[in-house]
Amino acid sequence: MARPRDRRPRASTRRPAAALAAWVLSGWGSPLLACPYCDSRIGKQVAAGIFNEAFGYNLLLTLAPVPLLVGTIAVLHFGPPDARRAARRVRSLLANANRSRRG
């Protein structure tokens, strides 16, 4: 006779995920502290040049091509929208033709 399934998540499945999250989060501070330029005068000038009043505009220009690239990849993966609509129409016409021949 089969045992009833336990609906509660097992603690053993949660422990590795928590350990992995703690390990990843603990490693984030080390590279930041290892930067020899961040606390120097030059590093502060670079940060001031990046995070100035034009930061939003520069961020917008940097991220502007992302929707175009995602759209291009979607069209390459799924096909143009008209091709999908035509393929659905052909499939429904073939299904109707098969039904009419049988019945």
Distances (CA, A) of 24 to 11, 19, 35, 87: 20, 9, 19, 46
Average pLDDT over the chain, rounded to an integer: 80
Q: Is the pLDDT of residue 2 over 60?
A: no
Q: Is the pLDDT of residue 100 over 60?
A: yes
- Which residue matches tokens 């009043």? 53
pLDDT in tens, 49-88: 999 999 999 999 999 999 999 999 998 998 777 777 778 8
